Structure 1
């Protein structure tokens, strides 16, 4: 085949690409170049800088993965909520399983052929790409709190492409000058921004979420008063927490979600008191009603509730105060974690059947 024929074939191939396929092609080309660059060889995953999406101004905080040599790629944490989830992981504030359900980000990771899903393989094949070797196949996923990881939509494809291209520019500069990401003022983050058609560096304070905790009040006051009157005695120290269940369910949308689960364990008796799964957005009232139900079943209020997370305190504090139940904070709940692991194992085993 002559050079002219090759060029003609290339033009033909470009002509049959749809606009969406062209966007995907550019993303895979950027991911291929990023893998070839391998910036994790000189940059650690706790080095954070950012790229602003020129389409909607959202900031994506970049974390280069590969230092641990167990997972290679790029994570793009979206906005203030994404940055908060990144900080939780870097500071190891999240318990086992929790990071998967809390993060708000997009990722490209490099997988073995056997580890990519059928839809990824088909997309790669349809676009005419081919990859060989270990950790060679790019896989793109969007992560959102409480939702199953999902393929990128077109807007996300374009942002991921832009981020990969800008990250490579920053990484090559860091390779030449380790002080590239040294902030002029403590706490600031380098942000790549498109201004008047030109990409430039700006230094900005990160967009942390500053929100006041919402203390939940039990809506069924009649039932709460009834339980207080009928069960004045107190017995037991209950460890409690709520989190996302490990098995997803299908809702009304195409993308499955993880229901929330609240677990109670009596530390003195060293046994589970009960658990409740909520498939509803009104999970907080469900968990409070379940708490009252457990008191009715046990015939007594707990003497104290032992809690690890802020979210669980916000859920139970007002009800506990009303019922004169003491709340204690502890960084680790041994019996609850054991019960949770057993419960998760049960869910996972039954999900495979």
Structure 2
């Protein structure tokens, strides 16, 4: 009985993937990119959890063909920042979406090729092979594995075709409502019999409170560091950024983040360290405190280029009464950062 249940589960999973490949083929045949540019963003509500995926049809520019479904307000914000060229982070590290793209065979992972073979599918040529990837901040784009994500991408593809069919003669009509709302396909949430309709909905507010959480530092350690101080140094510049050297640990490879502290006058790198994305708040705070302990001095000022970094070191600024300023220009740090990125990109470790 156990073996029969397992076989049924495997068959169900293959059927689900077959449905996804069929949806991708229908989407490609419809040539939705002939009618919609990537600026024609619309939403599809997930019937399971109510999250909205913001859809961007790719291919109008004749380069990358497919559909990207940006997940929730966080995903939408990265998309809008990219389109407005306001993103401080390379899209390779910041995108949060499910993506169908039509690529060449060489761009597929072995497991994807194996799955295509198991389903008895055949593709030939460039822009012909469907890939289904999860893009998540800090991680290498990876084949979708979660069944709920597969199901939502199927629905998003089907609804994208519906939206294009209705609005293809006048795609700008999806912008007819208020500027801060998006045409969104919403269902009755009856998963056995979904009925869809159009609504214009405002994205949910983005909660960034947890992005700034830093573990409280040991008060005794801070007091000891303060007692050991021997003077005041110059100006230090601090930043954190993704390093282009994927690390293969856990379920899928991730891009580590680097914390970097540079002396403004000498341009000398004073401290650096790597960690995974979710550990960067504590890492930055730890690097600064370790530097103060080692050098037994505090800087006259600290320059940072974004609010996140300021929040990461806030408790140290308060404890040592250090002034900090926010600026778009940190020349010494940018030079050091460029050197670090060149080093990693060259393949050296």
Q: Aligned with 1:130: secondary structure?
A: coil
RMSD: 2.6
Shift of 1:342: 2.7
Question: 1:268 and 1:250 mapped to 2: Cα distance?
Answer: 37
**Quick check: 1:106–1:142 contact (8 Å CA) kept in 2?**
yes
1:72-83 equivalence runs, <5 A: 72-83=65-76
Q: TM-score, normalised by structure 2?
A: 0.86
Output the CA distance in 1 between the equivalents of 2:278 and 2:83: 29
Is 1:205 paired with 2:202? yes
Q: Are residue 141 (structure 1) and residue 133 (structure 2) matched?
A: yes
Residues 211-220 or 199-208, more deviating: 211-220
Q: 1:205 to 1:256 in 2, by over 3 A?
A: same
**Per-residue deviation at 1:200?**
0.9
Q: How does 1:306-317 map to 2 (within 5 A)?
A: 306-317=303-314
- Give 1:231 shift: 2.1
- Alpha carbons of structure 1 residues 184 and 285: separation in structure 2 relative to 1, 3 Å: closer
Residues 53, 59 of structure 1: 8 Å contact kept? yes
2:164 aligned to 149, 156, 171, which one?
171
Q: Give the TM-score, by structure 1 length.
A: 0.85
Distance 1:82 1:296, change over 3 A: same
SS at match of 1:322: helix
Identify if the C-alpha distance between structure 1 residues 139 and 94 changes in structure 2 by more than 3 Å, giving closer, same or farther. same
- Find the aligned partners of 1:263 and 1:150 in 2 and give their Cα distance: 28
Seen in structure 2, the aligned counterparts of structure 1 residues 118 and 44 have a Cα distance that, compared at 3 Å, is same
Q: 1:334 to 1:69 in 2, by over 3 A?
A: farther
C-alpha displacement of 1:85: 2.5
Where 2:124 maps in the other structure, the secondary structure is: coil
Task: Give yes or no for contact 1:49–1:190 (8 Å, CA) kept in 2.
Answer: yes
Question: Which region of structure 1 is more displaced relative to structure 2, 35-44 or 47-56?
Answer: 35-44
| Comparing 153-162 and 84-93, the one that deviates more | 84-93
In structure 2, the partner of 1:7 is none
Q: Specify which of 119, 134, 142 is matched with residue 111 of structure 2.
A: 119
For 1:214 and 1:137, the matched residues in 2 are separated by 41
Match of 1:110 in 2: 102
- Equivalent position SS for 1:193: strand
Q: How does 1:1-353 map to 2 (within 5 A)?
A: 18-97=11-90, 99-152=91-144, 153-195=146-188, 197-212=194-209, 214=212, 216=214, 218-251=216-249, 253-279=250-276, 282-350=279-347
| Aligned-residue offset at 1:217 | 6.5
CA distance in 2, matches of 1:66, 1:334: 38
For the structure 1 residues 280 and 160, does the alpha-carbon distance in structure 2 shift closer, same or farther, using more than 3 Å as the test?
closer
Does the 8 Å contact 2:44/2:54 carry over to 1?
A: yes
Give the unaligned 5+ runs of structure 2.
Answer: 1-7
| Aligned length in residues | 335
**Alpha-carbon distance between aligned partners in 2 of 1:201 and 1:280, rounded to the nearest angstrom:** 37
8 Å Cα contact 1:218-1:319 kept in structure 2: no
Looking at structure 2, the residues matched to 68 and 179 of structure 1 have their Cα atoms a distance apart, in angstroms, of 17
